[in-house]
Amino acid sequence: MVNCERLSYALGAAITDIDIRGLINGDDVKSVQEIWHENHVVIIRGQSAKPQDIINFAENFGVLDNHEATPFYRMEGYPQLLEITTKPFNGRPSETRNVGRNWHSDYSYTDRPAAASMLFCVNPAPLGGDTMFCNMVKAYETLSDHMQKIVNDLYSVYDISLTEGFYERDPSEVATTKQLNPPIAHPAVRVHPSSGKRALYVSERVSHFHGMSQEESRPIIDFLCLHATKHENIYRHVWKAGDLVCWDNRTTMHVALKDFDQTKARHMLRATLIGEKSGFLV
């Protein structure tokens, strides 16, 4: 039996009675999926997981990405996991210590945006370093009927270079990553393949709408992002060691807060479920 507790008005639920190191049966998987679809973000606390445990658990819910879009940040020996850490890498600061600093959904700049992500906390920051999530289904549903009609016909052009801090990374890695991920357009409203819910798909990493200039697009992008990230539409997660936080990238956005001491250890491992193929290069 899988039990859950809602964590906020807008989204988020804590799931209990699961140890991700063990084999979970089909009924448990179905139950977790139902809770996940309803709440968009699920948290499983108190886990003592190794990298392979995370991979094994995540594979119950879809095909895992091997992160070819960002190959420099994969965990050695486990390409299905990204390391998001303050630990130095090859004698220099980690390139992932500042990832996720603006509102986004994962891998939106690829032709198969992430369906979902699972982030496991090995070491939280001693203080700060929370992650905030917003409900993009509710964001769409609370638009006026006229604005819904407008966004239904739009395609968001995602540009990886709009990732905050992108140009602070190693120049050779920046060049390769841009080459791997040219700008791509996705529908500004997505229909979830399982739940059928319609969700806004516009973030701070959208440069413009296809067929519109950046000057024309900017006021609409700014309005939609501000609308989606109102306080009443957010769940803020305070990390603890052993937390596994799973979110649906088709129905949420998130932002990683920078309010922590980067000289202290903060270490996370992320598995990413491959999403549906969509969009076109621009």
pLDDT per residue over 203-223, tens digit each? 999 999 999 999 999 999 999
Q: Does pLDDT of 90 surpass 90?
A: no
Q: Which tokens sit at 15? A: 């799931």
Q: Does pLDDT of 180 surpass 90?
A: yes
Per domain, the residue ranges of the chain are 3-19+37-275
The confidence band for 94, taking pLDDT boundaries of 50, 70 and 90, is confident
Hey, what long-range contacts does 85-91 have (CB within 8 A, 24 or more apart)?
85/266, 85/267, 85/268, 86/262, 86/263, 86/264, 86/265, 86/266, 86/267, 87/265, 87/267
* CATH class belonging to 3-19+37-275: alpha beta
Q: Does pLDDT of 201 surpass 70?
A: yes
pLDDT value at residue 23: 67
Mean pLDDT of 146-152: 98
Mean pLDDT of 241-252: 98
3-class secondary structure for 246-279? EEECCCEEEEECCCCCCCCCCEEEEEEECCCCCC
Q: Does pLDDT of 58 surpass 80?
A: yes
Q: Does pLDDT of 89 surpass 80?
A: no
Backbone angles phi, psi at 274, to 5 degrees: -65, 135
List pLDDT tens digits, range 17-40: 899 998 678 888 999 999 999 999
Mean pLDDT of 128-137: 97
pTM of the model: 0.95
